[in-house]
Amino acid sequence: MNISTPENASMRVAYLVNLYPKISHSFIRREILALESQGVKVRRFAIRRTSEPLVDAADIEELDKTEVILELGAKSLLLSLVGAAVKHPVRFVRTLGLALRTGIGSDRGLARHLVYVVEACALLDILRRDPVDHLHAHFGTNAAAVAMYCAALGGPGYSFTAHGTESFESPRRVRLGMKAERARFAVTVCGYGKRELLASARGVDDGKVHVVRCGLDEAFLSAPAPAAVAGRQLVLVGRLSPEKGHGVLLDAAAILERDHVDFRIVLVGDGDLREEIQRRALSLGIRDRIDFAGWQDHSGVQKILGASRALVLASFGEGLPVVIMEAMAMGRPIVSTDVGGIAELVVDGDTGWLVPPGNPERLAEAMRSVLEAPDAELVAMGQRGRQRVQAMHDSRKEAARLKELFERYAV
């Protein structure tokens, strides 16, 4: 497949994500929009539609541009499957064999991978009618598997971005190495991710895996940093789910309460653990210290960050959370567990505090440091963090790197 050139037409790339748009996937939207601003034509595909309400106008606009594979209906999916089997039976049988090797013993199991083959047939059908130069999947799990099967069936070559806990906690069960070996190239969002992917992918050369960081747009990078906050508010932004460590945060908060430290914590986000977290806060005697803000749109997150002394994360596992970049762009120090690639951005003692995961005593100590630090110290930390994130996480620069990779590998 020939690459489009500036003399004839823009390069065409299809993006594939399991759920898109989604509240927590604003980084994908920023990446797509930055690519489009540089002349790449991007088609958006989601495997399924998110059940979460979209609160940001930009996400609602993205939804109108996104084609949802499973909403094609059972008849259309079946016809695509039969068509792939009849038109190219050898490729189809080889793809089934690939699904057997990938699915047996994987985290999702064989049956789920056979479903991915059906989804790949449907995507192939669409892309044959309206071809693209390259297919890029976000996350190293099912979207990357569908992209791999689509390529095996005769579709465009693919790449994928692996982010964090969804891939690196059990890379062999996710078959991350197999997906990387068959891809044109693979992307990680931090150096930690690259090391983890290479460790799980036998035979994949270091030069095939590239770090392209998640980026921030002008709304964050160019907005004036808010002044120092004299109040006692801290904020955690993230899904209310086990890996985010809300229980450890509550235990740390209980230590501060025991020691008569004045504070408030705002939890931005929602999830299955909301009621459990509320009950835990009540049992620890700190329910009146915790505000549940639910999901917020872009301006809502900025407003809460601007009213807070620092962002706090208590996660057990991460890649490199975008909310850290957003908080640092707004001049806010970070208190976080030292997991994944967070230390690549947050410098302990310089732009924030890093503590071991699962340690409420150390987390409470760092939170106390934020609450007791002079305003001038927090302002200086925030300014250093802002400069660091502006240099490392500009969506325009990162999209340019990704565009160059698309052009280099789409042959």
The pLDDT of residue 229 is: 74
Same structural domain, 82 and 199: yes
Residue 331 sits in a domain of what CATH number?
A: 3.40.50.2000
The pLDDT of residue 347 is: 97
**Exposure string (b/e) for 314-346, b if CB count within 10 Å is 16 or more?**
bbbbbbbbbbbbbbbbbbbbbbbbebbbbbbbb
The pLDDT of residue 156 is: 97
Same structural domain, 152 and 262: no
Phi, then psi, of 48 in degrees rounded to 5: -145, 165
Is residue 240 a contact partner of residue 277, using CB atoms and an 8 Å limit?
Answer: yes
The pLDDT of residue 354 is: 98
Please check whether residue 4 lies inside any domain of the structure: no
Tens of pLDDT, residue by residue over 391-405, are 999 999 999 999 999
Same structural domain, 36 and 128: yes
- Number of residues written out for the chain: 411
Range of the domain at 148: 12-215+394-409
The pLDDT of residue 258 is: 97
The pLDDT of residue 164 is: 73
- The parts of the chain modelled with pLDDT lower than 70 are 1-9, 165-172, 230, 411
Same structural domain, 114 and 174: yes
Residues paired with residue 353 on neighbouring β-strands, in sequence order: 335
Please check whether residue 1 lies inside any domain of the structure: no
Tens of pLDDT, residue by residue over 206-244, are 999 999 999 999 888 887 777 777 689 999 999 999 999
The pLDDT of residue 204 is: 85
Same structural domain, 101 and 149: yes
Q: What is the largest CA-CA distance in the chain?
A: 72
Please check whether residue 175 lies inside any domain of the structure: yes
Same structural domain, 205 and 294: no
Q: Give helix 74-87 / helix 89-103 axis angle, nearest 10°.
A: 110
Distances (CA, A) of 194 to 159, 204, 302, 329, 405: 14, 11, 30, 24, 16
The pLDDT of residue 7 is: 43
Same structural domain, 196 and 222: no
Q: How far apart are CA 158 and CA 147, in angstroms?
A: 6
Domains held by the chain: number: 2
Please check whether residue 35 lies inside any domain of the structure: yes
Please check whether residue 7 lies inside any domain of the structure: no
Same structural domain, 165 and 257: no
- Sign of the C-alpha dihedral, residues 388, 390, 393, 399? negative
Same structural domain, 157 and 304: no
Q: How far apart are CA 351 and CA 333, in angstroms?
A: 6
Same structural domain, 257 and 382: yes
The pLDDT of residue 363 is: 98
